[in-house]
Structure 1
Amino acid sequence: MTLTFTLDPVVDPSLSDGILALWADVSHAGGAVGFVPPVTPDDIRPSLDKHLAAVADGGCRLLVGHDEDGAVAATAFLAHNTHRLQLHWLWAYTVMVHPRHQGKGYGRELMAATEAAARSVGNIDAIRLTCRGGLGLEHFYASCGYKEVGRVPGAVRVAPGDDRDDITMLLPLY
């Protein structure tokens, strides 16, 4: 099976709850999406609310992948740059695939859908994203065509004594 992707879906309570559950499940599985387990949906909700406010304001696009059961299985947010000299690229962030779907190629599907979404915006030359070091995520993104363009050693503190690199990846679209 594959995921069904929707760019800019109507955000209703069901979708919001689905994204919140995905985010919690990814976090508990050790996913590098801004939280470290243990984390509760109440811990995550303020961050999701900020993401969804940016979507509502038009500064961000939401890409959602649903599985064959209709459950939220993947997301990526595409943020427009606000600096007038950087309007030609987007940030991809909170890129997630549900742990039960990992290893099925859905991550590659999500990244292909993210690229297609960025191309549909028009006048976008590249997608940038950051990932946490120590998990090999940069290798996955490289296999999807992204190139490492920056690394800040120890910029992400996962726990006391456990600092990870913040890695910036870029996908040129030209």
Structure 2
Amino acid sequence: MQTLVCQTGAAPSLFSPEGVVGLIFLLTVALVFTGAMIAVNAKRLVRAVAGLAVCFTGLAGVYYFLLSPFLAMMQMLIYVGAVSILIAFGIMMATPEEQQSVGMRHSSNLAGPLAFSVASLLFAALTLLGVKTQWQVFPRQVGGDIKEVGMALLTTYGFVFELISVVLLLAIIGALVLAQRGRN
């Protein structure tokens, strides 16, 4: 992969390689936020799972922009390809319930403003931290062929590899719980 170097004196043009890369990155971040908003605000569970899959796909794009294509591929395989599909299967196996929550709302009027203020403070703190931090550029390591990745997965990152199987097991159990709850 070719590295792009941005000049510090002037802002990059939209039609330069740096500008196009920045635009694609912003579109990827917008995909993450759009998927998250769909997942949170959807009235139907199937649409919420679709929004979650869109959010996971955008997150894989962010991982790719962080120069970690292997992590992006694992994000697509594990979370989009396995976890989201297992949740969707759990929803499909469950029988539909009667619409008993049509008129239900949260009883507290402070929940929305309180959540918004906490989210705003967290966003401001993280933005300030991101702006004030002196970021170091680490040299890119050469390599990454299949044999090295396989050896790293089974030696250095063995715990992470096993943790992925636990995440998949929890997704299967969650799908079964959703299916069983809908049948009772």
**TM-score, structure 2 normalization:** 0.24
Give 1 or 2: higher strand fraction.
1
Larger gyration radius, structure 1 or structure 2: 2
**TM-score, structure 1 normalization:** 0.25
More contact order relative to length (CA 8 Å, sep ≥ 6): 2
Give 1 or 2: higher helix fraction.
2
